[in-house]
Copies of this chain bind each other. A is one copy, B any other.
């Protein structure tokens, strides 16, 4: 099944070009993924695990610089009309995701980088899609990354690695119940703005 992401990195600094190009350069010769960059985003095609690894691998080094940086990501799997790609075949519909594909957040080492995020989950073509969305909100609560509701999105808070794991798990779990799943996520590090719940 075709799986990939459109990833955009926004470093809020005059040096944004260097930070973006350095981040993308790291993945230019990575096996098992296909990369396409234009002026709006970098498309990465591969298995869900690889695609999330690239997303985290783009964002984490940029966040480490201390600059306020945002990653905007669209993750998609099973989109009709997209070509079936050989590098995506490990996640064919006849070999769906299982519990074993999920990440246990309690075993993850800390990256030491706190992030704020918001994401929206879209199980397409499913009448009971809201039910699937609410289930993943409950899962984020159990995983300890839930940061509260917002209009049209769910807030996540915590260590960078754990927030990516919650996003990956929501994407993967929902693929067990819907053929075409999309996650839009915004992750922010080093923001000078106060979070709403901060005094």
Query: Could you list which residues of chain A lie within 8 angstroms of chain B, going by C-beta atoms?
Result: 4-6, 8, 10-14, 16-17, 36, 38-41, 43, 45, 68, 70, 72, 74, 76, 79-82, 116-118, 120, 122, 124-127, 129-130, 150-153, 155, 182, 184, 186, 188, 191-196
Which B residues are CB-close (under 8 A) to A186?
A: 8, 40-41, 72
Alpha-carbon separation in the docked complex, A74 to B193 (Å): 20
Given A122-B124, A184-B74, A184-B184, A17-B151 contact (CB < 8 Å): no
Which B residues are CB-close (under 8 A) to A68?
A: 16
Which chain B residue shows the least CB distance to A128? B125
Which chain B residue shows the least CB distance to A68? B16
Which B residues are CB-close (under 8 A) to A192?
A: 17
Is A191 touching B6 in the complex (CB atoms < 8 A)?
no
- Pick the contact of A196: B14, B38, B129 (CB < 8 A): B38
Which B residues are CB-close (under 8 A) to A155?
A: 40
Which B residues are CB-close (under 8 A) to A70?
A: 8, 10
Which chain B residue shows the least CB distance to A148? B38
